[in-house]
Amino acid sequence: GKVIKSNEKKYQELLEIGKKNATDFYKNNIERVSKKIFLTENSGFNELKNITNSELKIIEMYDISHIGGDAQVGAKVSYLNGKKNTKQYRKYKIKVAKKADDYGSIKEVLRRRIERMIEENEEYPNLIILDGGKGQVSTGVKVLEEFGLIDEIMLIGLAKDKDHKTESIINKDLKELK
């Protein structure tokens, strides 16, 4: 009874936090970071298309949230042609990774997502954005390599400063764009 209810409530809250974090990513970070780097008046999405030299039909963003290391969840936010694609938003309960293991959680979520895409013959995203720096990106790169998708899917991470503002973009080669 009560325990399950409170756990469900906790997961619900986490999902909301995760979705909000992942959505805030796009609004605050992509737009701001791309403008900061390229100093243009172009929209963040168009700028991103220029930077990546890609159509960017599908963008997926991943964020891992937890409450004090407990009840970890991953959230995926998806964009189709630069617009939110809420039908593709997902919550992932972390099943395998240990408490507060951010890298393990990212690995688990990305593996599950890619396995599903392969199984269901879904179109791959053009770009995956992770909330995090070099550690998160190198974890993501390993997963893409594992599935032979390293050249198919672009991957970047958004490294934050102590105030949780995006400080730089980390690319697949772990190079930092300030």
- Give the pLDDT of residue 141: 96
Q: How far apart are the first and last CA of the chain?
A: 50
- Burial (CB count <10 Å: 0-12, 13-18, 19+), residue 69: exposed
Q: Do 81 and 46 contact (CB within 8 A), yes or no?
A: no
All residues at 6 or more sequence positions from 167 whose CB lies less than 8 Å from its CB, including other chains: 159, 160, 161, 178
Q: Do 133 and 165 contact (CB within 8 A), yes or no?
A: no
pTM as predicted: 0.76
Q: Is residue 171 very low, low, confident or very high in pLDDT (cuts 50, 70, 90)?
A: confident
Tens of pLDDT, residues 150-159: 999 999 888 8
Q: Which of 48-62, 67-81, 86-100, 143-157 has the highest mean pLDDT?
A: 143-157
Tokens (6 digits) for 11:
């997961």
- The residue-averaged pLDDT of 75-87 equals 86
Q: Do 154 and 137 contact (CB within 8 A), yes or no?
A: no
Q: Is residue 177 very low, low, confident or very high in pLDDT (cuts 50, 70, 90)?
A: confident
- CA dist 13 and 7 (Å) reads 10
Tens of pLDDT, residues 86-110: 899 888 888 887 877 889 999 999 9
Q: What are phi and psi of 171, to 5 degrees?
A: -95, 180
Which amino acid type is present at position 177?
L
